[in-house]
Amino acid sequence: MTTLQFIHNPFIEIILRTLAVYTFMILALRIFGKKELAQLSVIDLVFILLISNSVQNAMVGPNTSLNGGLIAAGSLFLANYTLKRVLYRSKKMSELIQGEAILLIYEGKANLDNCRKAEITIEELEAAVREHGARDIQKVDLAILEVDGNISVISSDYQTKSKVSHPRKHKFKGRLNKS
């Protein structure tokens, strides 16, 4: 088998097409922002479904057989596993592909420049703060947009609430000791 025949092998072609689509999707998600990954709206879900359908043919080409689909899926699993290993071992590569965490709130003050950079509105930031149990931005010690698109929030407001024991805790304590 010559090199040219090797390239024209339909299964090798599926692997190469799949890797090209995988690389494109990672770059596109990196360019369009990690905010898109954290909270999927209906629009985002429809977008993901349509993207997956639109790139299917680009991966398998005219080969719509079971073998073609399994080879494409296997290639994706292998590429994803390999990329995860590379990102784990190389901090520079991880930062290049995934980016870095972005500080959004520090000691009750929103960092508006970083919010703009991350394309997060104050309303979205306030909603994330409330989801983490703080009443408002001023009660937040630290909020960070993580590389996975989630917003981590640390607040003294939440810590105070979490130190208060649960009302039912005392009810069951007595019963457990009587056994």
Predicted confidence at residue 171, as pLDDT, reads: 38
Question: pLDDT by residue (tens digit) across 14-61?
Answer: 889 889 988 888 888 777 765 555 556 666 767 777 788 878 888 888
User: How far is residue 111's CA from residue 81's CA, in Å, rounded to a whole number?
Assistant: 35
The per-residue pLDDT for 103 is: 94
Q: Where are the beta strands (DSSP E) in 19-146?
A: 102-106, 109-110, 140-145
Say how many CA atoms lie within 13 Å of 171 toward its Cβ: 3
pLDDT band at 115 (very low <50, low <70, confident <90, very high): very high
CA distance 4 to 131: 57
Task: State pLDDT tens for residues 62-103.
Answer: 888 888 888 888 898 999 899 999 989 999 998 888 888 999
Q: Give the pTM.
A: 0.59
Q: In what order do the strands lie in the sheet with 151-155?
A: 109-110, 102-106, 140-145, 151-155
Q: Are 62 and 17 in contact (CB under 8 A)?
A: no
Tokens 């930062």 locate to 95
The larger pLDDT score, comparing residue 148 to residue 89, is at 89
User: Which comes out higher in pLDDT, residue 171 or 79?
Assistant: 79
H or E, element range at 120: none
| CATH T-level fold of 102-163 | CRO Repressor (3.30.240)
pLDDT of residue 82: 92
- Reading the block at residue 140, the tokens are 């937040």
Q: What is the pLDDT, as a whole number, of residue 167?
A: 40
pLDDT at 168: 35
* Nearest alpha carbon to residue 158 among 136, 126, 125, 176: 136
CATH 3.30.240.20, the chain: domain bounds: 102-163
Which pair of structure tokens corresponds to residue 26? 């990672």
Helices 10-32 & 91-98, crossing angle to 10 degrees?
80
Q: Is 81 helix (H, G, I), strand (E, B) or coil?
A: helix
Closest CA to 31 of 105, 102, 119: 119
Question: What span, in angstroms and rounded, lies between the C-alpha atoms of 13 and 63?
Answer: 10
**33/50 Cα distance (integer angstroms):** 19
Cα distances (angstroms) measured from residue 121 to each of 6, 32, 79, 102, 104: 51, 16, 34, 14, 11
pLDDT value at 161 more than 60: no
Highest mean pLDDT, choosing among 3-17, 86-100, 149-163: 86-100
What pLDDT is stored for residue 41 in this prediction?
65
